[in-house]
Amino acid sequence: MSAIYMLLGTLVALGVLVTIHEFGHFWVARRCGVKVLRFSVGFGTPLWRCRDRQDTEFVIAAIPLGGYVKMLDEREESVPEALRDQAFNRKPVGQRIAIVAAGPLANFLLALVFFWVLAMLGSQQVKPVVGELLPGSPAELAGVRPGEEIVAVDGKTTSGWSAVNLQLVKRLGETGSLRLELVTPGDSLARQVDVPLQAWLRGAHDPDPLAGLGIRPWRPQVTARLAHLDESGPAAAAGLRLGDHLLSLDGQPVGDWADWVRAIQQRPGEAVRVGFERDGLVQELSITLAERGQTGYLGAGVAAGEWPAQMLREERFGPFAGLLEGARRTWSMTLLTLDSLKKMLLGELSVKNLSGPITIAKVAGASAQSGLGDFLHFLAYLSISLGVLNLLPIPVLDGGHLLLYLVELVRGRPLSERVQTWGMQIGISLVIGVMLLALFNDLGRL
């Protein structure tokens, strides 16, 4: 079932984002009087095609990894005299800039719409209350106390853990002071705590900001009674069954499921003795833990615990306020994406965090399976990423074309064909290199 979700989620995500991106180019080109020859979603063999009254061919092709809008252009083919005024290369540079920029801008607009819808639908937030602090961690040394709620990070209000994580991600790789505003339950006055950062998690692969501060979120107590088993995992192979109540690890009692998770993750590949209760009888099994991403893996799970009402917060916006919230979130995520790219170039953030098609497919499937809200979140984030990446000043990307047209606007004439050809070759090499790096990272995660 998860494979079906992954396939459908990926096809829908790529189909929607590529169509909107290319429609941006198409719509503005038509308004500028450029003749569009083909609007294709996907590459390769056409699976479906049709033509409209203006003789534009619309195509859905077999390889859904992009798309393109082919316009009439004298640089690519001979154009009859009667149609030359409709050729892209004959249009003023300002119109060409508008046509090229319209694709990425359509992606940002789509993200805004998704965030707007999500803001009006509303969401239930878990209050960001500190559960535990690791001894000697930056947060503990700075004076953060268990039971306090994080109400702001660096002056930005945080209504839930997702907002806290978003603000923390912005500080990855940095040196300085992280300011937390904390409120004790029953107290309306916030106090400020400054946590010193020194090249914080710089170069870390798949960094965990909360763990980097030494903060464990508050969670309800969950009994370690198995409700899920990975059929190919160590737990099932050793003989554990659904309904078993885990009691001890190597003879030491372990109570809450969160404690079990931490204990297991610290022992990748080790043989352990697990004590459990089944049908009123206490038994013990020897299990060799698997290793997943340098952490131990048991292959078992429990039912989610019930959250107390006082630990939850509803967040919902009206149409106008939701539109403002959608715009704010789109802007914030755009800046975060640009900042992350800058930090990768400067070595402050590991390039191993760059994801490719395999990771995108996995996240698409997981978010589609989680529900409409999570899938819309994923589409919004991916749409912003697509918009930002396409605006990078690399030849062959939209941003590279914009750079050439801006140079033409300043110089009053375009760069020579030779210089443009060199730029294209460099751009293709860069894009292929980044794609191979992202794919290598994906395979490493597998």
Residues annotated as part of the active site: 22
Q: Could you tell me the two tokens for 30?
A: 């038509």
H helices of 124-256, in order, are 138-142, 161-169, 209-213, 234-238
In sequence order, what are the beta bridge partners of 302?
A: 226
Using CA atoms, how far residue 318 sits from 159, 276, 287, in Å, is 17, 50, 53
Helix (H/G/I), strand (E/B), else coil: 175? coil
Residues near 219 by Cβ (< 8 Å), separated by ≥ 6? 131, 258, 305
State both tokens at 53.
């009254």
Say how far apart CA 108 and CA 145 lie, in whole Å: 40
Backbone region of residue 414 per phi and psi (left: phi > 0; alpha: psi in -120 to 50; beta: other values): beta
Q: Which two tokens stand for residue 122?
A: 């509303």
Question: Contact, 254 vs 222, CB < 8 A?
Answer: no
Give Cβ neighbours of residue 252 (< 8 Å, ≥ 6 apart). Answer: none
Helix (H, G, I), strand (E, B) or coil at 364: helix
